[in-house]
Structure 1
């Protein structure tokens, strides 16, 4: 079997409402659908979410690097030779989500070629994954209403609170309101998206002590190396790396330098192969992990579920799997369902992301 053709299809789907966080705001899912065609007729699929304000990738740059660099280098290679593919991709620095999608699409090809689900090939640990829901920048009472609605409608009991782009007093108030309104059995954690200094993060943790917050994600920029180390040493809850750990090498640096003591894994930026490297590094060091979200569509969410549910360590915590509910539509032929706070692993071979061709034709960017 050989890779015959690689196609990058840009498309745009509007959000029901803007998604806001400390590092930016998005109103449209301007993603890229990746398809890897083989000479046997098997096609692997993956979704690519640009994050220009975080990683510098745009829809146009993703299409360009795939068409101009990755496709010419990969055509003719055996999809099963994943390490050779990885070595080829690593000749080009950065472009993490484009690389991650190539890897996921190749795993999809391998699954279909062998008749096995990628979930089982990766480890096949659990049949489903618990869902964490992201709470954005709203007044504390509105955040509580949203959390309560997701609890009653979807059975979600874990919530990420976005913080860091407003006065810290408002973030602290939101923490108190959510804990009081949701009770002790609901898990709450924070994500500042590099929106604080280390000292501001220390102050927030001091004023929320006793609320039972699970952990704090990416409080300040990785360049604040001494500040991050001081924060980790003083914090009574784990400090997780996200934007600071986009590769296995970055994760190693942050963990060994004391910049964080937990790792967020996102299949959209490390695919399945490098995500396993990050996972192995973390478990070897006794470090907790959880599955994050790259503002994923349902296609990307399926990839997260498949990887997260396949491994014991990533199944311990709820994964961020609900962002697709903020999108007006999706390309997936069989929509995902959140039931009793969980998403089931899709049945059948491959990753399990079948595309609705009519929707793709409708949302693809003109001329693509």
Structure 2
């Protein structure tokens, strides 16, 4: 089963290593990452959106603070535009350098045709995506530059506020209705992304911002890595009303493997059975239909179930789903066809 995945943080992990070690290990296949070229081949990971997340200074790892019966982590301090731009350019450079050093093992893709070509050749199809648009100035000059460099997907916020919108805090239990809607630069960003054919990722955006995008955008609504709120009442998940809006737009939601967004108790705990993931897929299929559900693993950005462990463990999920009655055609849609379809209906290239 060839898998196209909606979200990973491998570039951040490489960026955070001050030595060339993790960069080379990604290529050689002996890294501690969830994704490297060898793990991708072993698990059938054929491509995905490679996120650029400009980290907040001193934010640290949130996972250890999401293990109690409830939590309400304060939003990190907003990141200044120059720091966001520096980190974003550095991680974009890492992706381009990986492509050059991989000897055909990884291809940076700018169109669905590029993705299909890379997948056919067995080259990991990497799409440039940003999670937290602090690199983009309110006048959107940097958006044009990044688009020309290959940017094809924008999440305007991570879980912190910026000059475009408000992110949801990591809060359990909580609805995603945690603040105000889009700011004026955010409304301009939606329109310009529509003009450029850049996908808008609604994951991490609060509920009022979600509805603002739904009103403004003429593109399918997409949440690259979010789950069903009715099964896990964490602020990051989507309500049934939001899922219905995604379905009405012929959009897609990618199942997030982060255990805190899967488990009924909202805990980051790797001892989470695959059946918990299946129940979220069932719920998403109920609201979105077979054409609206995909994968958005959050590899290298979260605690994931031990039963998967890394990209090499993806076949375990598909075997579990097959035994639960998911047919081959549906599995193929979830694995990659739904992503390629929505990208084709969003991108202009």
Per the normalisation by structure 2, the TM-score is 0.47
- Answer with 1 or 2: which has the greater Rg: 1
